[in-house]
Amino acid sequence: MSHPFEIEPSVEMNADEAALLNEMPALVGVGQSRRSFMIHSAAGGIGLFAANLLAQESALAQMPLAADAAAAPIKAQNVVKVTLQVNGAPQTLELDSRVVLLDALRERLGLTGSKKGCDQGQCGACTVLVDGKRVLSCLTLTATLEGREVTTIEGLARGDQLHPVQSAFIRHDAFQCGYCTPGQICSAVGLLGEARRGHVSHVTADVGKTTTRLTDDEIRERMSGNICRCGAYPGIVAAVQEAHSGRQTAQTWEFATETQLASVRKERGHETV
């Protein structure tokens, strides 16, 4: 019976490897045969592998389970006290100086409208307004907001009266899954303020000539920090343009009438439309 680690004689070697193997007994200096050297090397390799495995297992056994680790309270460091206005109400928070606004809003104040998409400033899902200017709350340290006014998607409507940008988003069906929508709307509200203040953008044709009138290209550029994985961009641009210009832009959908529904049902031969 062949040894389990025996190297098959049929293994092909190039000339350099064959020469090296022939010199092995001399190189290892103990006069062992080529075969026994290779067997021991292989066994040594397996032994090393087994030892590593055992070490890993013992290290893992000493680690707390993931569930326990998640349940363990995270010790706050360098705690700071911050008082700020959130959607018109004063809030005083004591938190770790590293806590970003997005986490403070969602985890401490229960305002989960602002969404965590990338958590690194690339998607815009977490956009909120600070003193009327749009910011990425995932990149804003709460400790820097002493005395500032934060407005989130929850604070835009006045009672039952939606903000004009919110109404325009609904009219233009400017969302699909809705995950990016709070950030899109806050960003659009910030954009309207920037346009009123005459800010220019990368696509402004003449930066010396201040204009507060935004073209669709301007809106696309200025909203480019807000990603929508559902691709609702045509509706988003139309909604922002409508809120900006006050002109009704073409609506992309309408409710079907009962007669239209009946005709579709008849066509499809079932009642579920």
Task: Between 93 and 125, name the residue whose CB sits nearer to ligand FES.
Answer: 125
Least distance between ligand FES and beta carbon 224 (Å): 13
CB of 135 to ligand FES, least distance (A): 10
d(CA 152, CA 198): 24
Residue with tokens 């239209």: 260
Instruction: Check residue 157 for interaction with ligand FES (CB under 6 A).
Output: no
Burial (CB count within 10 angstroms: exposed 0-12, middle 13-18, buried 19+), residue 25: middle
DSSP for residue 139: G
CB of 174 to ligand FES, least distance (A): 8
- Asked if 147 and 84 touch (Cβ cutoff 8 Å), the reply is yes
Shortest reach from residue 270's CB to ligand FES, in Å: 29
- Return the number of the residue (86 or 204) whose C-beta is nearest ligand FES: 86
* Cβ at position 76, least distance to ligand FES in Å: 22
Segment contacting ligand FES by CB under 6 A, of 15-23, 45-53, 175-183, 204-212 = 175-183
Spatial separation of the C-alpha atoms in residues 39 and 42, rounded to whole Å? 5
DSSP letters for 175-189: -SS-SSHHHHHHHHH
Q: Are 106 and 128 in contact (CB under 8 A)?
A: no
Site string for ligand FES, 196-235 (x = CB under 6 A): --------------------------------xxx-x---
- Rg over alpha carbons for the chain, rounded to the nearest Å, is 32
Q: Which of 25, 113, 164, 178 binds ligand FES (CB under 6 A)?
A: 178
Q: Are strands 149-151 and 127-130 parallel, antiparallel or unpaired?
A: antiparallel
Q: In angstroms, what is the minimal distance from the CB of 128 to ligand FES? A: 10
> Of these, 125, 135, 156, 165, which contacts ligand FES (CB under 6 A)?
125
Q: Which of 101, 104, 105, 138 binds ligand FES (CB under 6 A)?
A: 138
**What is the Cα 112 distance to its own chain's centre?**
15
36, 56, 83, 122: residue in contact with ligand FES (rule CB under 6 A): 122
Q: What values do phi and psi take at 52, rounded to 5?
A: -60, -40
The residue within the footprint of ligand FES, chosen from 86, 95, 99, 124 (CB under 6 A), is: 124
If one counts every other C-beta atom within 10 angstroms of the C-beta of residue 166, the result is: 20
Using CB under 6 A as the binding rule, whether residue 84 contacts ligand FES is answered as no
Site size for ligand FES, by CB under 6 A? Answer: 23
The encoded tokens of residue 98 equal 């590293």
Q: Which of 95, 105, 111, 126 binds ligand FES (CB under 6 A)?
A: 126
Q: Which residue has the tokens 């062949």?
A: 2
Q: Residues in the site for ligand FES, rule: CB under 6 A? A: 116-119, 121-126, 136, 138, 175-181, 228-230, 232
